Structure formats: structure tokens, C-alpha cells
Structure 1
């Protein structure tokens, strides 16, 4: 998907924040990932006429991943 990389970046930033004593930032990044996934899903539905080809994949926001898993 065209915008899936945004979710990966947000996940990496959240993992960094969690691992470096920035809990408020980590929480905000989690909320931001939810908003991003919703908007990406909405855009996908607009493009395909109601059925996003990767709708399940877009809605999957990876919580609690570590930087090691994303490396």
C-alpha cells in the first residue's frame, strides 16, 4: 500500500519513545497511528469504491514492537 510506510515510521518512533523514558510521547504516537490507519483506510476505500484491497493490513497497527524487530 502506498502509505503503509507511515505506520512503520510511527511504530518505530513509538518504540524509541518507550525505550527511552518518553511515555507521554509513546502514548501520543500510538494515538497518532490509530488516526493515520483510519485515514489511510478511508483513502483506500475512496480509491477502490468502498473496498480497500489491503483494508485488514492497514488497520493493523503494531503495538509494542521493538526497534530490534523493525530493524
Structure 2
């Protein structure tokens, strides 16, 4: 799932722009957004690795709620 990593660069660019233009609250929000994006990307990578290793019944990202994306 490395093809999703580009979004982290875009978020960093947006944060830089926000900071340079006096949009401090937006810059802070983009920090939070970056953490969420990184967690979801990492979760996708872990799920892909587990499937490649023949593991089943993996849990998806729990960002936003515990077990929110459980798979049978």
C-alpha cells in the first residue's frame, strides 16, 4: 500500500503553507490529520502483510472507535 504515502507529503506541504500564512489552528489540525493518515496507512500495510502471510480475521484500523472495522 505504499502508493498512499504521498498523502503525507501533501499534508506536510499544507501545514507548511498554513504556518507561513498565519493559519495556526489549521496547522495544528493538519498535525492531527497527519497522525490519522499515517495510522491508517500503517494499518493497511499491516493488513496486506498479514494477508500475504495467509493470516485471516485481521482487524482493520480502530481510529474513531475500538474494533470499528472488524472483519470476520
Extract unaligned runs of 5+ from structure 2.
Answer: 52-72
TM-score normalised according to structure 1 size = 0.68
Q: Which has the higher contact order (CA 8 A, sep 6+)?
A: 1
Which protein is richer in helix relative to its size?
1
Q: What CA distance in whole angstroms lies between the structure 2 residues aligned with 1:45 and 1:2?
A: 14
Extract unaligned runs of 5+ from structure 1.
Answer: 51-71
- Equivalent residue pairs, number: 50
TM-score normalised according to structure 2 size = 0.67
Q: Runs (4+) of structure 1 moved beyond 3 Å?
A: none
